[in-house]
Amino acid sequence: MKLWNELFELEGECVRLVPITLDHLDGLWEAAKPDEIWTYMATTVRSREEMEQMIASAIQKREKGTDYTFVVINQDNRIIGSTRYLDISEEHKSLEIGSTWYHPDVWRTRVNTECKYLLLRHSFESWQLRRVQLKTDSRNFRSQRAIERVGAVKEGTLRKDRKISGGYVRDTVFFSILRDEWGTVKKELARKLGIQ
């Protein structure tokens, strides 16, 4: 059972989140080339072929209803990254927002804040979920700060949680936002984004 019947987009002022397709291959590969994107990611994309495999896998998981991967497109209609819903559980009314990466040109801009706002709003208001979790490599302090700025609560660290690309076994820091916290989180995100 899937939470959606047909593909959908999420649109903000500076980004559009569109369902990933193989038509996005060239734009995603161009956006994914800087090495610093992949330093702490669980998987890396180092070739056009790996990007094509990542897209094909994302589409398969979307068809199963477990993941929903978006391509992030800016106001200039340029692909600047990707983000996804994963581990979607209709039964438990929960999911994770993750596998997020952006071209370094948009780091420390409003892009991530707006993407998270759109994803969280859809999770809590359209799908009526109870819990959204986010997680990151314990070494990735930039990502942890970004997740905290979104309003997520740090829950703890799973030690030696997973082997990532390159063979490193990482500690994973978990964060979450609950439905009864969404009103406060939404208000603060809207303030940061200048949304009325």
4-63 residue pLDDT tens:
999 999 999 999 999 999 999 999 999 999 999 999 998 889 999 999 999 999 999 999
pTM of the predicted model over 0.85: yes
Residue type, 154: K
pLDDT of residue 175 exceeding 90, the answer is yes
pLDDT of residue 23: 98
The rounded distance, in Å, linking the Cα atoms of 88 and 36 is: 28
pLDDT at 166: 80
- Collapse the DSSP code of 194 into the 3-class scheme (helix H, G, I; strand E, B; otherwise coil) and give the result: coil
User: For 34-183, where are the E strands, in sequence order?
Assistant: 68-74, 79-89, 94-102, 131-137, 153-163, 169-178
The reply to whether 5 falls in a domain is no
Label residue 60 exposed, middle or buried (CB < 10 Å: 0-12, 13-18, 19+): exposed
| 2 found inside a domain | no
- Residue 52 belongs to a domain: yes
pLDDT digits (tens, 9 = 90+) for 114-142: 999 999 999 999 999 999 999 999 999 99
- Is the predicted pLDDT of residue 109 greater than 70, yes or no? yes
Indicate whether 3 belongs to any domain: no
Residue 65, in any domain of the structure: yes
Q: Which of 49, 61, 60 is nearest to 25 (CA)?
A: 49
How many structural domains does the chain have?
Answer: 1
Q: Which domain holds residue 111?
A: 10-193
The amino acid at 53: Q
pLDDT digits (tens, 9 = 90+) for 176-190: 999 999 999 999 999
Q: What is the pLDDT of residue 30?
A: 97
Residue 87 lies in a domain: yes
Whether 121 is covered by a domain: the verdict is yes
Rounded mean pLDDT of 70-86? 98
CA 135 → CA 88, 95, 153, 190, distances in Å?
15, 12, 11, 23
Q: What CATH number does the domain containing 118 carry?
A: 3.40.630.30
Residue 98 banded pLDDT, cuts 50, 70, 90: very high
In whole angstroms, what is the distance from residue 115 CA to residue 128 CA?
18
The b-or-e profile of 124-147 (16+ CB within 10 A means b, else e) is beeeebebbbbbbbbebeebbebb
